[in-house]
Every structure is written in structure tokens, then in C-alpha cells.
Structure 1
Amino acid sequence: MTNFLQASQNQERLNCQTYQKTDIKAGVIHLGVGAFHRAHQAVFFDRLLGQTSHAHWGIIGVNIRPQDSHLFEQLMAQDGEYVLKTISAAGKTEYNHIRSLVRQIDGAKTPEQVDDAMMDPSIQLVTSTVTEGGYYLDENHQLMLDHPAIKADLSGERQTLYAFLYSGLKRRSQSSAGNITLLCCDNLRHNGRLLKNGLMQFVQAMQDTQLATWLEKNVSFPCSMVDRITPKPNARHMDDVNTRFGLNDAMTVMGEDFIQWVVEDNFAGQKPPLETVGVQLVENVEPFEEAKIRILNAGHTCITYQAALKGFIYFDQAMKDAQLKQYFNDFIEQDVIPAIGESVVDLPSYAKTIAERFSNDNIGDTIERICSDGYAKFPVFVFPTLLANYQNGHTPSQTLKGIASWYCFLQAVEQGQIVFQYHDPSIAELSRFSNDQQGIDAFVSQPFLWGEIIDTYPQFKTDLTKAIMDFSKSLIR
């Protein structure tokens, strides 16, 4: 163990890989170092670094948002080290000292350092977690060129993922650093393809045909599926870690004991042997992706607004509510599994596991966190089930109820009836969904949210309008 977070007591309970951090070289850049990355990808690489001859797979952690600089400063002060606390549904707790973030760059302050790092030949992989809304793609997967952040980047600023990738990869293309893999780790269907699509459109908008040609020849964009419920960092867990081990860790992160990472085996350069530490390298990520996004992510999304309207604070409370627990089961059995059809994943068993994970009262995952960014989540998580059911001639009543709950939640937010602040980067778009017939019509006709369903299945607008009316009446009782 390094001496930065050297425990002064109970050292035997703080797990730590045996590698010497001074021996580690960086082979990965990660853009968007939030709690999820620190509880997920950083953990797998920490395990990898603990194996003989894999010391060149350390991570350079990069912050790209000015609003996160203050927190990132603390991570930098701790040399990228922190304690991960995991708790099982049965209450078994483990503590791990994670040290894989061997260097930190605040790209919001020193973007040129990110460029320098990306052109280093030792860097073979760039991973990213910037949330679903951080890709600025519309319902047709077209880059939102009129979005203020994208417009700013096209004029030379650094506000989005694309600007950092563009500048860094351009430098790399002009050197002899070689091929590189860009691995998206956000909850987007076909996330690798979407990242490529967005980046290539950005490069095209920059009128940089030379870089576009280089990217096609030298860069791969594998798809991946990531999974670990990771609540927003909580002072309670920080206090526990610091008291238990005699530390001063301000960056403690906590998550459930379950962890999964499925990656398409498509690497342009050197491939980290992640399969040796539990990562699944597969030819096709899609079956795993669909199961996770449609059951876990959509389950979260369709339940959380109902839970907020009932006044729950934590998601496990929602899963202990008889009505919402039954809703989850009905949503999965009636709408989701029939929409997915045949799968290499045992869907009923997987759904049972998800329900158990949702019910873990040791996690303390907040309704506020899960409610955030609904405008970006519904098209990604819920839309596929909605569309498949209409294609199959089935009215997805449970899915429609989940959507209706979001509309009613937005009205409650507007009226000051929700105890927490709703966070959504697209809040301006939501203002059109007013609490009247005009607002409902705008909601059920929004192409970004409901895409081709609006025109192909005209009954959808009638069905959703009725679901909103029915859900609104249920709130009055």
C-alpha cells in the first residue's frame, strides 16, 4: 500500500492491490471522472495492475466540466486515490483502496495537457462517462449543431467530449503515436457507434477531412455495457471509512457489490487483458445491453417518478412499496420481456436479480439522483420497449404509465410539490409541457422523445394522453 492513504488502524480490513504505484505507467485516459467511473472501470484496472506484467495500464483521469473542478481538485490532492466501500443486500461490507488513477488532469483548466496525454504513444485506450445527455445527439442521432455547447466547441472552446477528442486526436494523428481505441462507458444503446457517429459529425462540422480519414483508419469504437448501482457520494460512508481506518479520505465512493462490464472485442491498438479480471469480452454486446438498459435502466426510470410523487427518498423504499413492486413485475413481464423476445440472457432470472438489487436498503440510492436527466433517458431506456410493443400489436400499458408519471412529476416540480430539485440539462425543452391540454399535446408529440412512433402508430398519442389523465386522477384520490 502506498503511504498516501495509509490506514493507521484495522489495516487488515482495507483491501489493496500489491503493486507499487511508482512502477505504474498510464495506458488509459478516462474523460469524466465521476463516482461511477471510480466505482466501476477504475476498479477493473486496479485489479489488472495487481497482476504481473500489466503495470502499463494505469489511468489518467480527466475532468472536462468547470462545475466539477472543485471536487476534482480534492481527487488531485489525494493523488487520485480513494476508498471504495461496497455493501451487499445481506449487509456484507468490503473496503478497497483504489489507486489506478495514477495521474489527474483538470481539462477544464489545462486542456492542452489532455492533448499532450492523448498523443502519447503509451496511451492505447480512451474511455468516457459523460452521462447520456453529454453526447448531444437528437432523435435521429444527429449532432445538435445548434446547441450552445456544440457551437462554442466549433468556435474553439472546450465544453463537450467532442472538443477534447477532436483536439487530442488531431495531435495524435500528426504524430507517430499509432492506433487508439475509444471506449464509451455510458448507458446508451450501441454506445460505441453513437460515439463514433457524434465525433465524426463534429469533425465534419470542423471541415477537417484529413482527421476524418485518419479516424476511419486508426480508431475503433467498441460498444460496451456497464453495470453497478453507484449512489451519489454520501458523507455517512466517508465518515465510516475515515473513522474505521484512521484516514482523511474526502473522496470515498460507495456502491453495491454487483459489478459487470461487457465489452465488444474490437480494439484498434493494444488490448488490455481485462478478461483476466472479470470483464466479458464478446463479439456482440447487444443482448447484454438490451437486457440491462430495458430492465434495469428503464425499470429505474419508469418507477422513480412514481416514487417521487409518493414522497419516497430512497429507491429501495419504492421497491418495498407493494404497488410499485407489483408495477415493476408487471412492466417487465407484460411489456419488456415480450418486446425483447429471444435472448442469450435468461431474462426472467436477470429481472429477478435486478429486483433484488433495487431492494438493497444498504445502498441508499436516492430518488433525486435517479430522477435526473429524464429528457435524455426516456429516448434511450424506454423508447425501445415502447416501439417494439406497438410493432407487435400490443398496447404497452405499463410503459405508458411510467411515461405518464414523468409528465405528472414535471407538473409537481413546476408547482413546488417535490422536496428535491430536479436536475435536467434540457429543462428549457420541458417548459413546453405545461399542465393543460396544450402541454399534454406537446408532450405526446415530441419527436425527440417518441420518434417514429408518433407518425407510424397514431394511437400512441391517444394512449399516452389517456395514461396521463388516468395517472393524474390516481394522484387526486
Structure 2
Amino acid sequence: MTNFLQASQNQEQLNCQTYQKTDIKAGVIHLGVGAFHRAHQAVFFDRLLGHPSQAHWGIIGVNIRPQDSHYFEHLMAQDGEYILKTISAAGKTEYDHIRSLIRQIDGSKTPEQVDDAMMDPSIQLVTSTVTEGGYYLDENHQLMLDHPEIKADLSGKRHTLYAFLYSGLKRRSQTSAGKITLLCCDNLRHNGLLLKTGLMQFVQAMQDTQLATWLEENASFPCSMVDRITPKPSSLHMDDVNARFGLNDTMTVMGEDFIQWVVEDNFAGEKPPLETVGVQVVENVEPFEEAKIRILNAGHTCITYQAALKGLTYFDQAMKDTQLSQYFSDFIEQDVIPALGESVVDLPSYANTIAERFSNDNIGDTIERICSDGYAKFPVFVFPTLLASYQNGHTPNQTLKGIASWYCFLQAVKKEQIAFTYHEPSIAELSRFSDDQKGVEAFVSHPFLWGEVIEKHPQFKEDLTKAIMDFNQSLA
């Protein structure tokens, strides 16, 4: 995408930081360059590069999955540049030319280039977005050593985040390239701790005590909370951008106008001054993390299967449905906020903001996308409210209804009654949840999904069974 701006016919409408890209040096490596990274972290670093003294915080974007190579080729063809289209709930639209991804490496094809980049002493930060399933940790946060991709990586292959980090950081440790911060940007509670847990177990499985010691002394794993609704890229927005600006941008990404990044102040080496461009750098991420996960993510999760069973296509339609809109309010007021308790976050105000964002009909976020990967989402997003409610002596009826809707959705998927394909990496694990008493018993007793609640609060199984029966009757 050389001369990208010169091609634009409406430059006055296109926001662009004033830095010269040729002046920018890389200080960050990002593993997993999807739409979310391009609409979130890359935007903050693009803003940071606009400060003349911060020209050393460019990003090297790395693809680690062969199945994403075709997508990544388009990004490489555009030299990492693209247009971000931002639309508010009121319909206000802005366009930004993002240039912070100054170099791209397809690690699935040339992994040695990732190693070379990671051993460069100018690199101070390795960030990652590989989705919840990319960490291969079981319910006890133990690395799944028997997983085929982990087993392959332990024998020297490159499939997972851990293999790329292991090889690159080993090279860095051998060349005394300096301390480094490994910043997980995935939507996981205590994500920095989980990244460290998984990586250190991988290093231990490799029997590499030297690297383990080096990491303990030279690496940090701050936690972070990220938030911006970013739908799957659409030709609708690409066509708009290309017609408006006379471009051929195949990598247009679109997002809502809300953007938030909260980062724990725990940097091993040089710390980028991200607070100057709107990032919240705090001592403790947990209150922000809990509010977001339990209100936004759990709200998405508990509503989306109900919306799918109603035949809705977009999430904003769900929020305009009288029953589902009331459900969201009840879920937050009756279950979530009481379970969270005291917080530095204004929870009612935050919940109102989330409801407004969910209702943004310009986003076009699909029920299909939000339904995906339910098996991984419920233990992370919904379980905490479930457990805290029972611990407080409260039966979380709205939460139970959301869980019940997932079970009923799974049965509808089996009967081919859902209009879209359910994307579920753990679909084999869900096969035991048949549409009968035995299947319900397996569902309400599943240790990965409901673990501690089953053990400490036996009434949960009876409550969820009743919720499933009631939800089934409501569908009749």
C-alpha cells in the first residue's frame, strides 16, 4: 500500500497521524494479528507513534496459524496498513488510516524470522491475541500436555503461542538482549497469570531449566483488560472505504466508538507511555476485568443463545427485543451486580453503557459469531456470578436461564433447527449432552463447566435442571 494516502480522493475525511513511517522503529511484537488487534492495540500504538519522541514503538505483526495465512497475505500486500471505520450508536462515522504495523511476518511459514525479531534488544514488549482456546489450559490451569498440538510443539513443531515464545525467548536469553514484557491481550480473567502459567509449564515440559530461570528474572506478565466490539470484517465497510477514498483496501476493519484498555503497571523493561493516548495503567486490573467479563461478556453469552433460538441475526436485534432487553436488565440487576459487590467501577452506570453499546445497530455483530465457542466461554464469563450468588445464599435465576438456553440451543443445533453453523472447537465434548434425562444430568454435572458449584452447592443441579425444563416449555 505504497502511496496509500496519495490515492485518497477525500483526504480531509481520513484521519492520519503525522509521523513518517520510515522514521518508525519496532519496539513491539504482536502474535495473532486478527481484526480485534487491528481495531484495538494497533490503534493505541498508532496514536503513540504520533508523539515525536515515541517513534520506537512500531509493531511487528506476526501470524502463527497456517489457516490465517491467506488473510495475512492481504495485510502484507498492504504493508500492514488499513482503514479503521468507527461508528457510534448515533451513527457518527470516522475513518482512520492505521500504520503502526510497520512489519509483518507469517510465522507459520518463516518461524525463524519471529525468533530473529524476538532476540532484537529494541523489542521491549510481546503482546498476544490468540483467543481463549489458544492457551490449552484445563479447568485446573494445567497445560494440556496430551493435546496433539502441544505434543507436536514439544517435539519441535510450531503450532501454538508457547512454541513461538519458547523459541524466540530462548534465543533472546542466549544473546543477553535484555528484559522483556509479555502482555496478554486476550479476553481471559487474570490473563497475564494464565500466560505465565502456560508458558512456564511448557518450558518445564521442555526440561529447559535455564530458560525457566531466565524468564523468572527477566520477564514480566502484566494482566490487562481489553474492550471494543469488533465485528468480523465485512465487504460492506470495505466497499464504503474504497468508494469514498478511491482505494483498494481489502483489510478495512470496523469497530464501535467505545475503546478501553486497562493494563497492570508491571513492565520488565522499558514501559511505553500508553497512558498518554488513553490507556489506563493501574496497580490492579481485577475490578475493571471483573466488571467487563461479568457484565459485557456474560451478558453477550447469556443472551445470544436465546436470540439464536428466536431466529435473530444480529445482536442489536436482541437488545431491541422486549423480552431479551428485560432479561439483560434483570440478569445484571438481580444476579451480576449483587455477586460483584463493592467495586471501584460504577457498576450501574457501566451496565447502562454496555446496554447502549449492545444496541448499536451500526455494528452488525452477529449472533452466529457470539454463539461460537460456548464451551470455553461459560466457565470464564458466567461461572463467577453463578458461584458468588450461591455463596451469598442467592439463587441466580437469570443466570440459570442463560445457561439453560445454551443447553436448548445445543439440542436445536443437533436437530438442524439453527440457521447458521455453530462454531465450537469442543463439539465432541458436548456430544454427551443428549436431549433426554441422561443428557441433562451430564450437562448439570459437568465438572469443567460447573466444578466448584456442584461440589459446594448441591442444589445447583436441581435448580439448573428446573431452568432447562422451564426454558424448554417456553419454546413449545
Same fold, TM exceeding 0.5? yes
Q: How many angstroms does 1:443 deviate by?
A: 1.2
* Structure 1 counterpart SS, 2:311: coil
1:316 corresponding residue in structure 2: 316
Alignment of 1:99-178 (within 5 A): 99-178=99-178
Gapped regions of structure 1 (runs ≥ 5): none
Partner AA of 2:183 in structure 1: L
Moved over 6 A (4+): none
Q: State yes or no: 1:218 paired with 2:224.
A: no
1:292 corresponding residue in structure 2: 292
Partner AA of 1:286 in structure 2: E
Q: How many angstroms does 1:165 deviate by?
A: 0.7
Aligned-residue CA RMSD in angstroms?
1.0
* Structure 2 counterpart SS, 1:84: strand
2:97 corresponding residue in structure 1: 97
1:305 corresponding residue in structure 2: 305
Q: How many angstroms does 1:2 deviate by?
A: 6.3
1:20 corresponding residue in structure 2: 20
Q: Deviations over 1:401-460 (max 9, x none)?
A: 101111111111111111111111111111111111221111111111112111111111
Partner AA of 1:324 in structure 2: L
Contact 1:63 1:69 in 2 (8 A): yes
Alignment of 1:384-463 (within 5 A): 384-463=384-463
Q: Deviations over 1:329-348 (max 9, x none)?
A: 00000000000000000000
1:200 corresponding residue in structure 2: 200
Partner AA of 1:224 in structure 2: S
Q: How many angstroms does 1:374 deviate by?
A: 0.7
Contact 1:6 1:247 in 2 (8 A): no
Contact 1:5 1:248 in 2 (8 A): no
Partner AA of 1:247 in structure 2: L
Q: Deviations over 1:57-104 (max 9, x none)?
A: 000000111110100000000000000000000000000000000000
Q: How many angstroms does 1:8 deviate by?
A: 3.0
* Structure 1 counterpart SS, 2:54: coil
Alpha-carbon distance between aligned partners in 2 of 1:387 and 1:151, rounded to the nearest angstrom = 34
Q: How many angstroms does 1:397 deviate by?
A: 0.5
1:180 corresponding residue in structure 2: 180
Alpha-carbon distance between aligned partners in 2 of 1:179 and 1:38, rounded to the nearest angstrom = 26
Partner AA of 1:20 in structure 2: Q
Q: Deviations over 1:252-309 (max 9, x none)?
A: 0000000000000000000000000000000000000000000000000000010011
Contact 2:2 2:78 in 1 (8 A): no
Q: How many angstroms does 1:177 deviate by?
A: 0.5
Q: State yes or no: 1:67 paired with 2:67.
A: yes
* Structure 1 counterpart SS, 2:229: coil
Gapped regions of structure 2 (runs ≥ 5): none
* Structure 2 counterpart SS, 1:452: helix
What TM-score do the two structures reach when normalised by structure 1?
0.99
Partner AA of 1:408 in structure 2: C
2:249 corresponding residue in structure 1: 249
2:40 corresponding residue in structure 1: 40
Q: State yes or no: 1:333 paired with 2:333.
A: yes
Alpha-carbon distance between aligned partners in 1 of 2:391 and 2:99, rounded to the nearest angstrom = 48
2:475 corresponding residue in structure 1: 475
Q: How many angstroms does 1:7 deviate by?
A: 3.7
* Structure 2 counterpart SS, 1:451: helix
Partner AA of 1:202 in structure 2: F
Alpha-carbon distance between aligned partners in 2 of 1:462 and 1:218, rounded to the nearest angstrom = 50
* Structure 2 counterpart SS, 1:254: strand
Alpha-carbon distance between aligned partners in 2 of 1:339 and 1:203, rounded to the nearest angstrom = 37
Alpha-carbon distance between aligned partners in 2 of 1:464 and 1:250, rounded to the nearest angstrom = 46
Alpha-carbon distance between aligned partners in 2 of 1:124 and 1:8, rounded to the nearest angstrom = 34
* Structure 1 counterpart SS, 2:409: helix
Question: Between the two proteins, what is the percent identity of the paired residues?
Answer: 89
Contact 2:413 2:422 in 1 (8 A): yes
Alpha-carbon distance between aligned partners in 1 of 2:469 and 2:146, rounded to the nearest angstrom = 35
2:350 corresponding residue in structure 1: 350
* Structure 1 counterpart SS, 2:53: coil
* Structure 2 counterpart SS, 1:204: helix
Alpha-carbon distance between aligned partners in 2 of 1:310 and 1:29, rounded to the nearest angstrom = 43
Alpha-carbon distance between aligned partners in 2 of 1:434 and 1:115, rounded to the nearest angstrom = 47
Partner AA of 2:330 in structure 1: D
1:237 corresponding residue in structure 2: 237
Contact 1:158 1:164 in 2 (8 A): yes
Q: How many angstroms does 1:3 deviate by?
A: 1.1
Q: How many angstroms does 1:139 deviate by?
A: 1.1
Partner AA of 2:434 in structure 1: S
Q: How many angstroms does 1:4 deviate by?
A: 2.9
Alpha-carbon distance between aligned partners in 2 of 1:321 and 1:417, rounded to the nearest angstrom = 21
Q: How many angstroms does 1:6 deviate by?
A: 3.4
1:383 corresponding residue in structure 2: 383
What TM-score do the two structures reach when normalised by structure 2?
0.99
Alpha-carbon distance between aligned partners in 2 of 1:297 and 1:388, rounded to the nearest angstrom = 17
Q: How many angstroms does 1:5 deviate by?
A: 4.8
Alpha-carbon distance between aligned partners in 2 of 1:249 and 1:59, rounded to the nearest angstrom = 20
Q: Deviations over 1:130-170 (max 9, x none)?
A: 11111111111111111111111111111111111111111
1:259 corresponding residue in structure 2: 259
Alpha-carbon distance between aligned partners in 1 of 2:314 and 2:302, rounded to the nearest angstrom = 15
How many pairs align?
476
Alpha-carbon distance between aligned partners in 2 of 1:2 and 1:148, rounded to the nearest angstrom = 41
Contact 1:124 1:180 in 2 (8 A): yes
Distance 1:301 1:6, change over 3 A: farther
* Structure 2 counterpart SS, 1:365: coil
